[in-house]
Amino acid sequence: MENIKINLDNLIAFFFVAKEKSFSNAAAKLFLTQPAVTTKIKCLERQFGTKLFLNTSKQFQLTDVSKEILPIAEEIYKKSKEIENILASYINVDKGVLRIGASRSLSPTYLPLIINIFSDHYPNIQISVTEGASHEIIERVAQFRDHIGLIPKVPLSDKFTDLMISNEKIEFVASTKHPLAQKGHFSIEDILKQPILIPGEGSATRLALLDVFAKYKMTPNIVFEAENLEMIKKYLLTGKGVTLMFPAVLRNEIEKGQLRILSMDDINIYIDVQLIFLSEHLLSPSAKKFVEIALSTFAA
């Protein structure tokens, strides 16, 4: 078998320079000096006798050959990171860091219990948790920045494996100042006629909310849209609209009497809660144990 002639460090430097369209920005991302990155690019150019970048007075430009090899270089970089993660996870299965990405709406309810049980089995494994919107967690897992994601069920590409661990009830919520909160009885149509606060694109609660409107063949009167749950809560507290949310993220406001769940006997809306990870990525023993604990805990 013929040996690989290309230097992997030089190729990764090329990828970052091409992606950032800047030698200085690439150097910062790689924790190198700018001259070191420039040297790597010049070595690559000399080795294959071709120019990779054009510095014009107007803008930083990629040559034709750079445009052709850039997607391949990106794939090589991602696969290299994947190999590093796998090797690192098997150096010592009783030590290391397990990185979990979790939806803000679910992490307070699900993670403390799972982590508590997991820590009994692997006391020397550090767990690092990052919270974010569902689409942010999906992106972090795709980029190998998190080993596992905990999110409400949303459409995923084939490169992910998803395992349902539970399903969670979501509720219509309004400020106690809202007219509906003063009524003893109301229908789903009463709620759907109200000004609606809606989460951002890619949110599971957004999809569930729009499904309810579609089911009842009504058009939502959307007055406020935001990815940040805290922003939605603050707008909700003004009494100018209703929204659909996981009750757990509103516990403090409900206990303080600031918000009220608009419960109806004949309407129950649930969203599946799932763990996600890359299908082709071999989970470390500690990550597998985390998945097993989550499945067994909430299945019970």
Query: In this predicted model, what pLDDT tens digit does every residue of 111-145 receive, in sequence order?
Result: 999 999 999 888 888 899 999 888 899 999 998 88
Which whole number is the average pLDDT over 31-43?
A: 91
For residues 186 and 242, what is the distance between their CA atoms, to the nearest angstrom? Answer: 14
- Residue 102: which of 131, 127, 77, 78 has the closest Cα? 131
pLDDT confidence tier of residue 218, bands split at 50, 70 and 90 = very high
pLDDT at 58 over 70: no
Average pLDDT over residues 274-288: 85
pTM of the predicted structure, to 2 decimals:
0.67
User: What is the per-residue pLDDT for 263?
Assistant: 80
Distances (CA, A) of 274 to 13, 125, 155, 243, 296: 36, 23, 11, 23, 13
Query: How sure is the predictor about 163, in pLDDT bands with cuts at 50, 70 and 90?
Result: very high
Q: Give residue-wise pLDDT tens across range 236-258.
A: 999 889 999 988 888 889 999 99
pLDDT band at 298 (very low <50, low <70, confident <90, very high): confident
Domains in the chain, ordered, with CATH? 8-79 (1.10.10.10), 91-166+272-299 (3.40.190.10), 168-270 (3.40.190.10)
The number of beta carbons lying within 10 Å of the beta carbon of residue 271 is: 22
Tens-digit pLDDT profile for residues 269-278:
899 999 999 9
- Token pair 């763990």 is found at 275
Q: What is the per-residue pLDDT for 247?
A: 86
* Res 299 pLDDT > 90: no
Kindly state the average pLDDT of the residues 179-199.
87
One-letter amino acid for residue 295 of the chain: L
Which 8-state DSSP code applies to residue 207? H
Residue 17 pLDDT grade (very low, low, confident, very high; cuts 50, 70, 90): very high
